[in-house]
């Protein structure tokens, strides 16, 4: 599998419908979904390969091999192999468990059933067994797990409506057309599978599952190499010492040891001693370090899973840590890349406000009450009188309904326009309720508002629109539909009412529509402009509303020109656009609408808090520019107070480069921009840019669309893009593809040396989620593709604040304290052997007994450091949320880095000096209370070991910021455990059972019963700990950190909590900004007027043809017959090229 060749690029695909034997010749991929990393056969080799990418694991394997050589090993092999096998097994079990759940999720998708045409009859078949070329029958609301080609539909003209929520999080419907040659096969929804499994667009855009490691893991790899180099230096020093000692002193022992002269070479002795000391000193980085790290990360993951404040009761969805290896990385995030639809927003549009004839209707904030007095403003309106009203619709301004009851003609015309100018399709469900099928959620909100206020859109045909106006059915003749597009930014309908009047109703962007108004609208225009600014300031999506009365003669002339333009072959679109422009003029302004693209709860507060934590948020969305900008303002990511908002919309590389250059000039002057934009893309240049970034004052934003981004990501332009984007407070990328999302993430990840997080909810976010250091999936109603590919998942965007500022910061803080203490205690423990080497003839003799060396990291000091690594916290979770600035040390990597490592190393070296030389000096030529000497090797070893355990226990007590019962039990319990085991191993009983393994019989009773020994232990402890206490006291007193200050305040005022800032509901500003945003797509007007999406009402059941269309058996017969008739039209061998 590792040597398989890369699949060649597929130019065309030849498929014969319903012929598996023929299609198998091309070896198309099967439809089985694979998001897992391993299978039964590949798990062991791949997992071991990944694990031994850790330098430490390879290092310990090397040491194990050395320990198997008896000539150089003074320690038994089990002291290394047992912990090594333990850590590899634990990690393998964890990885296997994670992958098991991936397999489980895959199986849920793969085993879903579909109806496939096999042997001229429909059979249930699992989706994973669907083959390219299979003909599949789909029904309403059925799941689709392959790329399909529509053959026929129960809808007229071979149309079907699909929802792509699992792909892009959008719940609005999209239309698809069947092939014309197969659209009459039958009424059942049938499709042809053309791309399966890994060849589908979804899987092609998902990217590869990457093996992710934290920055701390990478730092540890470097440190392990440094430590190994340090050990090599120590080993060389001791080996040289051994050679010299053997040459000068060792000769005196040869006769005593019955060695023949010249039998032992001093150089060879030094060589063997070098490897012996490498084995002895390897405990500077014990394998238990990695076992402990895995346990700590597992504990942190459970804290995330168990956090009730991240549990979404609306869907009974808890937060889930889907990986246990990246928790501390959550405390170092600098860039967050977020999808919009379904992540920041709920993709639910609600009609909030409107301006009609210069008067605002809708909700008004309490502090704005002096502007608009709304009676009963806290009570939603009661629409129960209207039996066809949408019960989910809420509106709080009763004055609008009062205006309807009073017969206000402007209000009537306003609501009539909303009921007529749209592309909504209506139908009735089984209960007789009116249901709207909307292509754009914006339109759904507007039509629903008109419906609730008495202007109910009932039905449409290609030529008519029927509206129930205050209980009376009115049918309007649809004369023309002037469709929406991104250039016009408006749509219009021309209708004839029952009185014979011809009217043009138009809605669109205010900046466009206001240019089309009749001069008599000047006063109303000024008022409406102010209202639109207010709506935009609240983050609402706005549309201007206008109409025009048309003369019958003028319309006929115009329509004749439109018909002529439609028949042109050259410049057809330009002529039609010109005619649209001609008739959409001299409009009369009615007002404006304000729709809220409902943000998820807490989005604004979360973004504000993350910004205070110096986390930059980039929005990467497939939505249009206007929609994305509007949401940016709604989230307060974009504000009217910003110094500048740069919009890059160039269509060529030259235009994009020039726009980026001009934007950079605005930021930091002409001298910082290169004249031609060609800059060598090097990390050195970006490091210089990071210095400039510090000097930028003011807030800037960058908006760039997908076309421009494609050019900006080219090698000679991306440096300019990255430099400009990183100077901006906010970046919004619109109309981007899933691949571009991943490219933007990788650009920042690779060249900014920053930790990135990507968050999304749809399948189009999967590649972005996999590309970032941390991937977060929103587990909502939009499908599970993003969740399955993510490292962490939860139900609401607002939980990201707690995930990063609390769990992420605590995980980073705890892991850094754990590593600092671990390296300190092991340097203190190990380097005593180095000092002892100068007093034992460099013989590689251990200063402690072998059992103490084995148990020190596994038993005596493992639990206290685990308790600190799992439970410790400097400030409470609430203070972590209230003071986002506490997050910055993780971004700057201040708590554990190479400098901190050297400080811990120096601390450990100092402690080892105190541990060795204080007892050595005290024991030198000393006698015990009984008059006997105490300077024997075993008493010296016990004294040093006891001093070491007490010193490191006191040190971790000083390091612990947050005390729990578990900390107390583990710290003091470990000390008690040490003495219990010590007395047991030195007892007569165990010596009698294992005399060769426990030679220190009776030594503890002899040593620890003497006061002088305890005085030595006390002196060693004080000498080791007091300097640390003094330094920390001075540091906290003279230059306390923000964490120190908050901790002191927390102790002094436990119940005091600072007031949390609230987002203002309205933001009045002097600047004029359009809040226009519309999710409508071009082409629906032509579809409506063609009648292709209209279902014929009450089809005659007596027609034999109609009966066969609704009979599945006949449908199959039709298909089999039609295949022989139509497919042969394409080629002689009856194949279809797709």
911 in Cβ contact with 1079 (< 8 Å): no
Q: How many whole angstroms separate alpha carbon 504 and alpha carbon 489?
A: 16
- The residues, any chain, with a CB within 8 Å of residue 243's CB and separated by 6 or more, are 266, 267, 269, 270, 273
Instruction: Please choose, from the candidates 173, 336, 166, the residue with its C-alpha nearest in 3D space to the C-alpha of residue 780.
Output: 166
| Residue 71 tokens, joined | 């000539």
342 in Cβ contact with 780 (< 8 Å): yes
Q: How many whole angstroms separate alpha carbon 43 and alpha carbon 54?
A: 17
Cα 750 to chain centroid distance, Å, stands at 17
**Region label for 416, one of left (φ > 0), alpha (ψ between -120 and 50) or beta (otherwise):** alpha
346, 348, 352, 357: CA torsion to nearest 10 = 130
**339 annotated active-site:** yes
Tell me the backbone φ, ψ of residue 835, rounded to 5 degrees: -65, -40
736 in Cβ contact with 621 (< 8 Å): yes
Please state the length of the chain: 1138
Q: How many whole angstroms separate alpha carbon 823 and alpha carbon 296?
A: 16
Measured CA to CA in angstroms, residue 229 lies from 130, 278, 282, 747 at distances of 57, 10, 11, 34
The residue whose two tokens read 């959550």 is 330
The DSSP annotation for 404-471 comes to HHTT-HHHHHHHHHHHHSS--EEEE-TTS-EEEE-SSHHHHHHHHHHHHTTEEEEEE-SSEEEEEETT
Instruction: Please choose, from the candidates 999, 1032, 696, 705, the residue with its C-alpha nearest in 3D space to the C-alpha of residue 849.
Output: 999
Instruction: Please choose, from the candidates 1018, 1025, 829, the residue with its C-alpha nearest in 3D space to the C-alpha of residue 912.
Output: 829
Measured CA to CA in angstroms, residue 400 lies from 367, 377, 404, 538 at distances of 21, 12, 6, 20
Q: How many whole angstroms separate alpha carbon 196 and alpha carbon 32?
A: 8
Q: Is 967 exposed, middle or buried (0-12, 13-18, 19+ CB in 10 A)?
A: buried
Measured CA to CA in angstroms, residue 652 lies from 576, 659, 720, 976 at distances of 27, 11, 15, 74
The residue whose two tokens read 């039958």 is 186
Give the pairing type, strands 14-15 and 113-118.
unpaired
Give the pairing type, strands 359-362 and 345-356.
antiparallel
Tell me the backbone φ, ψ of residue 992, rounded to 5 degrees: -65, -30
Instruction: Please choose, from the candidates 287, 279, 289, the residue with its C-alpha nearest in 3D space to the C-alpha of residue 232.
Output: 279
Active-site entry in 147, 188, 196, 339: 339
Q: How many whole angstroms separate alpha carbon 928 and alpha carbon 1010?
A: 7
Give strand pairing partners of 190: 137, 152
Residue 374 CB neighbours (<10 A):
16
Give strand pairing partners of 455: 469
Residue 1053 CB neighbours (<10 A):
9
Instruction: Please choose, from the candidates 328, 332, 216, the residue with its C-alpha nearest in 3D space to the C-alpha of residue 891.
Output: 332
Q: How many whole angstroms separate alpha carbon 791 and alpha carbon 144?
A: 25
- The residues, any chain, with a CB within 8 Å of residue 130's CB and separated by 6 or more, are 31, 114, 116, 136, 145, 146, 193, 196
Residue 14 CB neighbours (<10 A):
17
Catalytic residues: 339
């Amino acid at each position: 599998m590792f040597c398989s060749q890369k699949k060649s690029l597929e130019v065309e695909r030849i498929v014969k419908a319903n012929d598996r034997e023929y299609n198998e010749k091309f070896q198309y991929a099967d439809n089985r979904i694979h998001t897992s990393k391993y299978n039964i056969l590949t798990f062991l080799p791949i997992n071991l390969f990944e694990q031994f990418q850790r330098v430490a694991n390879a290092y310990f394997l090397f040491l194990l091999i050395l320990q198997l050589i008896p000539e150089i090993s003074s320690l038994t092999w089990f002291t290394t192999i047992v912990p090594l096998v333990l850590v590899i097994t634990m990690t393998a079990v964890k990885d296997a468990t994670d992958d098991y759940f991936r397999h489980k999720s895959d199986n849920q998708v793969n085993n879903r059933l579909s109806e496939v045409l096999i042997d001229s009859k429909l059979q249930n078949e699992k989706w994973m067994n669907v083959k390219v070329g299979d003909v599949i029958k789909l029904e309403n609301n059925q799941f689709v797990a392959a790329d399909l080609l529509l053959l026929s539909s129960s809808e007229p003209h071979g149309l079907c409506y699909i929802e792509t929520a699992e792909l892009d999080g959008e719940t609005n419907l999209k239309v698809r057309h069947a092939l014309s040659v197969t659209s009459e096969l039958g009424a059942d929804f049938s499709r042809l599978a053309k791309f399966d499994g890994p060849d589908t667009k979804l899987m092609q855009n998902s990217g590869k599952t990457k093996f992710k490691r934290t920055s701390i893991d990478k730092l540890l790899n470097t440190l392990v190499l440094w430590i190994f180099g340090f050990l090599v230096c120590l080993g060389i020093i001791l080996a040289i010492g051994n050679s010299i000692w053997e040459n000068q002193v060792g000769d005196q022992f040869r006769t005593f040891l019955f060695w023949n002269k010249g039998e032992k070479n001093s150089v060879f002795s030094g060589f063997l001693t070098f490897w012996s000391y490498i084995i002895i000193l390897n405990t500077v980085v014990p394998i238990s370090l990695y076992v402990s790290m895995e346990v700590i990360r597992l504990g942190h993951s459970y804290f995330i899973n168990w956090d009730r404040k991240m549990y979404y009761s609306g869907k009974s969805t808890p937060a889930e840590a889907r990986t246990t290896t990246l928790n501390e990385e959550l405390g170092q995030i600098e860039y967050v890349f977020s999808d919009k639809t379904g992540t920041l927003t709920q993709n639910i549009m609600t009609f909030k406000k409107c301006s009609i004839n210069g008067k605002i209707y809708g909700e008004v904030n309490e502090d704005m009450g002096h502007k608009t007095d709304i009676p009963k403003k806290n009570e939603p309106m009661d629409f129960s009188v209207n039996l066809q009203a949408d019960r989910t619709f809420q509106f709080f301004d009763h004055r609008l309904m009062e205006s309807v009851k009073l017969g206000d003609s402007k209000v009537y015309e306003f609501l009539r326009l909303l009921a007529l100018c749209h592309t909504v399709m209506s139908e009735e469900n089984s209960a007789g309720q009116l249901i709207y099928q909307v292509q754009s959620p914006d339109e759904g909100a507007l039509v629903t508002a008109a419906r609730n206020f008495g202007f109910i859109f009932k039905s449409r045909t290609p030529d008519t629109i029927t509206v129930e106006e205050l209980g009376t059915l009115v049918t309007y003749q649809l004369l023309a539909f002037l469709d929406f597009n991104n250039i016009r930014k408006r749509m219009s309908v021309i209708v004839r009412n029952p009185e014979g009047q011809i009217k043009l109703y138009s809605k669109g962007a205010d900046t466009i529509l206001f240019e089309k108004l009749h001069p008599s609208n000047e006063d109303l225009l000024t008022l409406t402009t102010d209202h639109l600014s207010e709506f935009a300031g609240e983050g609402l999506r706005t549309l201007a509303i206008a109409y025009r009365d048309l003369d019958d003669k003028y319309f006929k002339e115009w329509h004749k020109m439109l018909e002529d333009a439609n028949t042109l072959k050259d410049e057809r679109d330009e002529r039609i656009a010109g005619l649209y422009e001609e008739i959409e003029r001299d409009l009369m302004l009615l007002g404006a609408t304000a729709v809220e693209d409902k943000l998820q709860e807490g989005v604004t507060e979360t973004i504000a808090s993350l910004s205070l934590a110096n986390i930059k948020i980039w929005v990467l969305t497939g939505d249009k520019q206007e929609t994305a900008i509007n949401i940016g303002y709604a989230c307060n990511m974009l504000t009217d107070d910003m110094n500048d908002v740069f919009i890059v919309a160039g269509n060529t590389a030259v235009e994009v480069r020039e726009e980026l250059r001009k934007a950079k000039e605005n930021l930091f002057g002409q001298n910082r921009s290169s004249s031609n934009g060609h800059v060598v893309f090097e990390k050195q240049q970006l490091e210089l840019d990071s210095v400039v970034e510090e000097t930028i004052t003011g807030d800037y934003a960058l908006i760039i669309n997908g076309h421009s981004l494609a050019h900006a990501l080219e090698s000679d332009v991306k440096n300019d893009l990255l430099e400009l984007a990183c100077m901006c407070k906010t970046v919004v990328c619109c109309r981007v593809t899933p691949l571009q999302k991943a490219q933007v993430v990788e650009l920042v990840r690779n060249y900014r040396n920053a930790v990135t997080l990507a968050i999304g909810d749809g399948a189009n976010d999967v590649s972005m989620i996999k590309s970032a250091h941390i991937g977060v999936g929103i587990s909502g109603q939009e499908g599970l593709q993003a969740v399955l590919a993510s490292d962490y998942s939860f139900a609401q965007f607002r939980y990201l604040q707690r995930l990063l500022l609390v769990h992420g910061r605590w995980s980073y803080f705890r892991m850094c304290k754990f590593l600092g203490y671990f390296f300190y205690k092991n340097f203190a423990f190990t380097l005593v052997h180095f000092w002892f080497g100068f007093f034992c003839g460099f013989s590689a003799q251990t200063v402690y007994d072998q059992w103490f060396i084995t148990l020190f990291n596994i038993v005596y000091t493992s639990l206290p450091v685990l308790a600190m690594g799992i439970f410790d916290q400097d400030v409470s979770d609430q203070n972590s949320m209230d003071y986002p600035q506490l997050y910055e040390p993780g971004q700057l990597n201040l708590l554990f880095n190479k400098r901190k490592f050297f400080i811990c190393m120096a601390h450990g070296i100092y402690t080892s000096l105190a541990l060795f030389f204080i007892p050595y000096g005290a024991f030198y030529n000393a006698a015990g209370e009984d008059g006997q000497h105490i300077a024997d090797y075993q008493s010296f070893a016990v004294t040093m070991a006891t001093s070491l355990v007490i010193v490191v226990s006191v040190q971790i007590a000083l390091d612990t910021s947050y005390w729990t019962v578990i900390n107390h039990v583990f710290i003091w319990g470990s000390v008690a455990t040490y003495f219990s085991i010590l007395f047991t191993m030195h007892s007569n009983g165990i010596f009698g059972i294992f005399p060769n393994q426990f030679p220190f019989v009776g030594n503890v009773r002899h040593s620890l019963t003497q006061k002088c020994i305890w005085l030595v232990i006390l002196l060693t402890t004080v000498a080791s700990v007091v300097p640390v206490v003094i330094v920390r006291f001075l540091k906290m007193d003279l230059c306390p950190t923000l964490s120190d200050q908050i901790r002191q305040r927390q102790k002094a005022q436990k119940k005091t909590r600072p007031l949390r800032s609230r987002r203002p509901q309205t933001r009045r500003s002097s600047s004029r900004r359009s809040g226009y945003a519309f999710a409508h797509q071009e082409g629906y007007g032509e579809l409506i007027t063609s009648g292709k999406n209209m279902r014929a009402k009450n089809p005659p059941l007596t027609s034999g043809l109609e009966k066969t269309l609704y009979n599945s058996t006949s449908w199959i017969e039709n298909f089999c017959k039609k295949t022989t008739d139509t497919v042969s039209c394409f080629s002689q061998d009856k194949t279809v090229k797709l």
